[in-house]
């Protein structure tokens, strides 16, 4: 039996960030089911420029596939809104990463801090025992046992670890976005992310083009399957044809993204839940790298302090939830409300909004302007919109 202070299940951005944070102070073990960290990639690979500054993580240039200068929104009738004026630029759109290099690089940073990684190791189950958690795993044909003071569940959507320790981690299909993405060559684009909206294009979701190095780009789509007639791949193929993209597909990725907002509780005795396992993806964009890394940091910090004081109870570990909520809890709450509003948009609404944004000037828009616009189009809907903006 391998005893340790902290056991992290999952070596994505949340798990590796937790290990990186805690490893200099504690004995940390990381279990990862994949043989190669970062493969297959699970997202469009975009993240903000300020994230690495905030986390004080050295940004390795090899992790970056493309620097992003601005964002472009495209309505169903192809009305284009470029978010590139001075006020919008302050958002620092950031980078399209090379996730295969980034995820592995983050794990390497954690390993250099002292974290012990076990790859191709499948989590099997666990039980609480003497104020510790005993975890069973399997690596190749060998059964492994670990005994940890704290377990950090970073095992992704429908977390088995959280469920086995009494936290319901299931996702209602109403709040599960189905995504499909092609990495394509021959897609020569500006250094901007392109987001396409419309119910014919992506029912209750959106499509995207994220440019990478050279003429490579991630071309993908996310839909709510409960509100769509066909699977995500059908809409992606339709989108590619609609744009007349003639590049070659060199990689295919598909999966689910929780857009429900975070779990009601992300901690318990001996347990912290981070990243997608805690449903921390942004409910509008589906993006999860940012919140995964931040939650991983807070989980690592909280676990370290708990180990040092030998206080492994949920009252002590609730500090983790206090930390992440203070950082990005309101952002997720606002995004969830915004998602419900956008789901009611018709294609005509998207077109009218894009036209209005261009006429008004994106950099000049404020909350009052948005409410007035909503009031003109949907008087009853505007009341919800105003409540969302002022909550």
Give the model's confidence band at 388: pLDDT under 50 very low, under 70 low, under 90 confident, else very high: low
- Look at residue 54 in the predicted model and tell me its pLDDT: 92
CB atoms within 10 A of CB 15: 34
Convert the pLDDT of each residue in 281-312 to its tens digit: 999 999 999 999 999 999 999 999 999 999 99
- Look at residue 76 in the predicted model and tell me its pLDDT: 97
Domain spanning 2-66+97-171+261-333, CATH architecture: 3-Layer(bba) Sandwich (3.50)
Pick from 13-22, 62-71, 349-358: least confident: 349-358
**Taking the CA atoms of the chain, what radius of gyration do you get in angstroms?**
22
Report the C-alpha gap between 183 and 82 in whole angstroms. Answer: 24
Predicted confidence (pLDDT) at residue 86 exceeds the cutoff of 70? no
Task: Report, as an integer, the average pLDDT of 329-338.
Answer: 90
DSSP tag of 193: E
Give the model's confidence band at 126: pLDDT under 50 very low, under 70 low, under 90 confident, else very high: very high
Task: Report, as an integer, the average pLDDT of 325-330.
Answer: 96
Residue ranges of alpha helices (H) inside the chain are 13-22, 50-55, 86-89, 99-112, 160-164, 232-243, 289-309, 314-324, 330-342, 347-360, 367-377, 379-390
Higher-confidence position of 225 and 389: 225
If you search the block for the tokens 């978010």, which residue do you land on?
83
* Token duo for residue 27: 């004995």
Report the C-alpha gap between 151 and 154 in whole angstroms. Answer: 9
Task: Report, as an integer, the average pLDDT of 214-228.
Answer: 96
Give the model's confidence band at 58: pLDDT under 50 very low, under 70 low, under 90 confident, else very high: confident
- Look at residue 224 in the predicted model and tell me its pLDDT: 95
Give the model's confidence band at 211: pLDDT under 50 very low, under 70 low, under 90 confident, else very high: very high
The model's pTM is: 0.92
Predicted confidence (pLDDT) at residue 218 exceeds the cutoff of 70? yes
Provide the residue ranges of all domains of the chain, joining segments of one domain with +. 2-66+97-171+261-333, 173-258, 338-390
Report the C-alpha gap between 51 and 48 in whole angstroms. Answer: 6
Task: Report, as an integer, the average pLDDT of 5-31.
Answer: 98
Predicted confidence (pLDDT) at residue 215 exceeds the cutoff of 60? yes
CA end-to-end distance (rounded Å), the chain: 50
Report the C-alpha gap between 358 and 351 in whole angstroms. Answer: 11
Convert the pLDDT of each residue in 258-288 to its tens digit: 999 999 999 999 999 999 999 999 999 999 9
* Token duo for residue 151: 């377990």
- Look at residue 372 in the predicted model and tell me its pLDDT: 62
**Which CATH fold topology does 173-258 show?**
D-Amino Acid Oxidase; Chain A, domain 2 (3.30.9)
CA nearest 251: which of 127, 65, 12, 85? 65
- Look at residue 244 in the predicted model and tell me its pLDDT: 96
- With H, G, I as helix, E, B as strand and everything else as coil, classify residue 182: strand
Give the model's confidence band at 84: pLDDT under 50 very low, under 70 low, under 90 confident, else very high: confident
Give the model's confidence band at 381: pLDDT under 50 very low, under 70 low, under 90 confident, else very high: low
């Amino acid at each position: 039996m391998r005893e340790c202070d902290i056991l992290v299940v999952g070596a994505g951005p949340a798990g590796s960030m937790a290990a990186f944070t805690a490893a200099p102070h504690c004995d940390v073990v990381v279990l990862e089911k994949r043989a190669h960290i970062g493969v297959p990639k699970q997202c469009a690979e975009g993240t903000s420029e300020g994230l690495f500054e905030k986390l004080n993580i050295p940004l390795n240039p090899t992790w970056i596939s493309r620097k992003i200068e601005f964002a472009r929104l495209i309505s169903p009738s192809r009305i284009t809104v470029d978010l590139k004026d001075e006020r919008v630029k302050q958002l620092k759109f950031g980078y399209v990463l090379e996730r295969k290099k980034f995820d592995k690089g983050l794990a390497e940073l954690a390993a250099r801090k002292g974290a012990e990684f076990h790859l191709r190791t499948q989590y099997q189950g666990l039980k609480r025992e003497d104020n510790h958690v005993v975890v069973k795993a399997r690596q190749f044909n060998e059964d492994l046992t670990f005994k940890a003071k704290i377990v950090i569940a970073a095992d992704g959507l429908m977390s088995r670890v959280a469920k086995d320790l009494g936290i319901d981690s299931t996702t209602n299909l109403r709040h599960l976005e189905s995504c499909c993405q092609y990495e394509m060559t021959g897609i020569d684009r500006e250094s901007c992310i392109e987001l396409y909206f419309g119910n014919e294009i992506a029912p209750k979701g959106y499509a995207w083009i994220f440019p990478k190095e050279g003429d490579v780009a991630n071309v993908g789509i996310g839909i709510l399957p409960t509100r769509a007639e066909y699977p995500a791949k059908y809409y992606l193929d339709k989108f590619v044809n609609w744009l007349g993209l003639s590049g070659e597909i060199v990689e295919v990725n598909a999966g689910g993204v929780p857009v429900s907002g975070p779990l009601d509780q992300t901690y318990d005795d001996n347990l912290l839940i981070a990243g997608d396992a805690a449903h921390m993806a942004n409910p509008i964009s589906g993006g999860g790298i940012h919140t995964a890394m931040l939650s991983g940091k807070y989980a690592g910090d909280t676990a370290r302090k708990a180990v040092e004081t030998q206080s492994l109870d949920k009252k002590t570990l609730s500090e983790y939830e206090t930390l992440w909520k203070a950082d990005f809890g309101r952002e997720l709450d606002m995004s969830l409300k915004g998602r419900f509003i956008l789901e009611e948009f018709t294609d005509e609404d998207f077109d009218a909004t894009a036209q209005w944004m261009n006429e008004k000037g994106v950099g000049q828009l404020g909350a009052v302007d948005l409410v007035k616009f909503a009031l003109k189009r949907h008087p009853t809907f505007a009341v919800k919109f105003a409540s969302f903006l002022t909550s």
